[in-house]
Copies of this chain bind each other. A is one copy, B any other.
Amino acid sequence: MGKTILVETSARHVHVSEADLAILFGEGYTLTNKKDLSQPGQFACVEKITVVGPKGETKMSILGPTRGKTQVEVSLTDARSLGIKALIRESGDIEGTAGCKLVGPAGEVELSCGVIAAKRHIHMTSADAKEFGVQDKDVVSVKVDTADRSLTFGDVICRVSDSYALAMHIDTDEANAAAIAGPCQGEIIK
């Protein structure tokens, strides 16, 4: 086996724009870093908001820093509980996706779009990409060996930037389908 990749599970979360943060938490509010994430500069926040769909609502953590557009990332199981049809999209590609209501302590935001199930992907630096023999936007498969539910994930997008750290991101449904519990390594299969 060659070089392996840390496989990390992203639970449901929200990225907020500056403008929506001001509505949800009040003018001039800034996010509070609770814990740094594997990707440099990204962090889980103390702040939580409620995501409201036609069938249900769920409290979700905000991930910082703020972004250009507000985006809600859920698993397809979460989407079903909320009553929202989440399309599978790369982060940031939210045009034409479903919307929802966000409720914060200071106000509410009605999103016309932004609810997605994240397309599984690998963050890697250009040095990593060279080592794996892949390029930005390449689609690969990643094999994960577990005791009871080994899986090979197809349709995994490579995202190459020197501002990244090497890690594959999957959602909770995908982690459960592989019975991943805790730190786990995957192997690229082209």
Across the interface, do A149 and B120 meet the contact criterion of CB distance under 8 Å? Answer: yes
Which of B154, B155, B176, B178 makes the CB contact (< 8 A) with A75?
A: B176
Complex alpha-carbon distance, A28 and B173, angstroms: 40
CB distance from A164 to the nearest CB of B (A): 22
How many Å from the CB of A97 to the closest CB on chain B? 13
Residues of B within 8 A of A153 (CB): 149, 151, 177
Q: Which residues of A does B touch, CB under 8 Å?
A: 75-77, 88, 117, 119-120, 141, 145, 148-155, 172-174, 176-179
Residues from chain B with Cβ under 8 Å of A172 in the complex:
77, 173
A176→B77 contact, CB < 8 A: yes
Whether the Cβ atoms of A148 and B177 lie closer than 8 Å is no
Query: With A and B bound together, what is the CA distance between A120 and B148 in angstroms?
Result: 9
CB distance A151 to B154 under 8 Å? Answer: yes
Contacts of A148 in B (CB 8 A): 88, 119, 155
Task: Note all chain B residues with C-beta closer than 8 A to A149.
Answer: 88, 119-120, 153-155, 174
